[in-house]
Structure 1
């Protein structure tokens, strides 16, 4: 995706609508912003000449948008609180690719370029997640969140295609995103910044190196192998990496709300680490003993500080 004037305008509109959604509590305005986001993303997809995937994505998003609008009208007519509406929940689950309505997400992401995968994995989910956190109850969303955690980590274990693996990683982290939206705005902003930045670094690295499958990582030089390995481990939430601290803060809040959900998040995180460790195994599977001995000397101290110790300072900002 070349950043020409039309693409830049679409990206700026998506950024503007997403930022506005954080300051609005009205159902109708948020629905309009969500649809603007969709229509700004469609031209970016059509540049790929993958018309079938664009049509599939448009049909799924249009159906879920109409279902959401229908549910809003029904809630207004019946004078019932939106937090008790199952149709609202189903529409938002379909919008975000939340389990068990997630099957479309890996298939579509697999046919996209890395730029579009990045936008679909996190920024496009922000507005539906805000709606879900504000207008659905914890009791209704807890089962889909647990299903997303389990389906995301288990389905990603057998993947060798990196785009599909990142799609299942997105499904897994979707439960963490919604939990962050339900805790506090500071925790939510911290989690989204770290998760989106890690996704950006990883996917842009795969794009730059033209990597689609795990076995292609073996062709990289040692320094680049170490770099991608550190980013993947951080995304997995392995302490003391950067991705661990926002998840730890979310768990601190979730303990007060649901012990079962907290336990599920911990156990599935352990399973998901095996999914991310697959990349590590491919990364260092053919290294000689001599190269393994000089591994630490090749590591950049600046990268270590960024990935490990800077998040400790962010804890003081949140607290």
Structure 2
């Protein structure tokens, strides 16, 4: 990693801290702008031919979100009529939905992620969500939030059904997980636990895919993995899909428990049913990995990851029963 990447990575980290620690709207907005200006150079440092396209998509969408956010902040400070102030708060939420890639403002996210490398993809799906989600958690939640939650659940489930790019599949899966995070946020202050567990699982999966240089489902057919590595992939995919008894089920279980206590049954049933569809993505990836055996193709330079790392990932994903036991004491 060269010095410029280190510098922009530090700014990326500090910009989120600026947003988290700001006690006024302008400070939060400045943190988001610092974050934007730090992430764009990290994308442009790629030698991929499509990195410039991803950079432009990200810059334009984030700029639109920032303009709407700044406009709504300025207008709400000038207005004194309560209904108009509520409209400005709705505009703030829309600007944050654009920045997060939540439905119905999600169109840029899969297209951009398909042009990124796995390292930048993992950052976009994890760290880049923190600042907008923290701002969103401090707002009074209105009906527009629940509309976005339902739409994100539908889009995140159905959008990836016909995809062959793993990055696009994970983009739609990220939209679906975002709906669960926002629902948890509307009911509890513990929504960050969902983000933490999701981030651990996504970063781990992206690390494995980057290590083996896999970007499409058909490349899994041609990759020769050991049995242990195949099991680790399968467990990670099922865990991200939220299947018990793996760790990825724990945050969804917490959300379902909160929704039952809040008596939000209709939205809960919709989210649970459409989350089952996301498991189909991972079943496709698993079937390509397990049911097909062939030699390594010339585009795949296979490197065996550290076996201790693989075993530690397996143990982490199988720790859900332990978490559940301690949650009752």
Structure-2 separation of matches of 1:88 and 1:122: 21
Where does residue 279 of structure 2 map in the other structure? 273
Task: In structure 1, list runs of 5 or more residues that go unmatched.
Answer: 289-299
Instruction: Provide the residue aligned with 1:195 in structure 2.
Output: 198
Residue 294 of structure 1 corresponds to none
Q: For structure 1, which segment, 4-13 or 211-220, has the greater mean C-alpha deviation from structure 2 after superposition? A: 4-13
2:104 to 100, 103, 113: 100
Q: Distance in 2 between matches of 1:44 and 1:70?
A: 28
- Where does 1:252-271 land on structure 2 (aligned, <5 Å)? 252-255=257-260, 256=262, 258-271=264-277
What are the Cα deviations for residues 127-170 of structure 1, in whole angstroms up to 9, with x where unaligned?
A: 11222222242422001111011101111111111011111111
**1:31, distance to aligned residue in structure 2 (A):** 1.4
1:161-172 alignment runs, 5 A limit: 161-172=165-176
Specify the alignment match of 2:70 in structure 1: 69
The aligned residue for residue 41 of structure 1 is 39
Equivalences for residues 131-280 of structure 1 within 5 A: 131-185=135-189, 187-218=190-221, 219-221=223-225, 222-255=227-260, 256=262, 258-280=264-286
Distance 1:302 1:46 in 2: 33
The range that moved more, 263-272 or 131-140, is 131-140
TM-score (norm 2): 0.85
Match of 2:306 in 1: none
* Structure 2 partner of 1:312: 322
Give the TM-score normalised by structure 1.
Answer: 0.87
Shift in CA distance, 32/100, structure 1 to aligned 2, threshold 3 Å: same
Count, aligned residues: 305
Instruction: Please say which of residues 50-59 and 203-212 is displaced more in the overlay.
Output: 50-59
**1:78 alignment counterpart:** 79
Paired position in structure 2 for 1:5: 3
Q: Which structure's residues are more often helix, by fraction?
A: 1
Range with bigger deviation, 220-229 or 210-219 = 220-229
Unpaired runs of at least 5, structure 2? 295-309
Shift of 1:191: 1.3
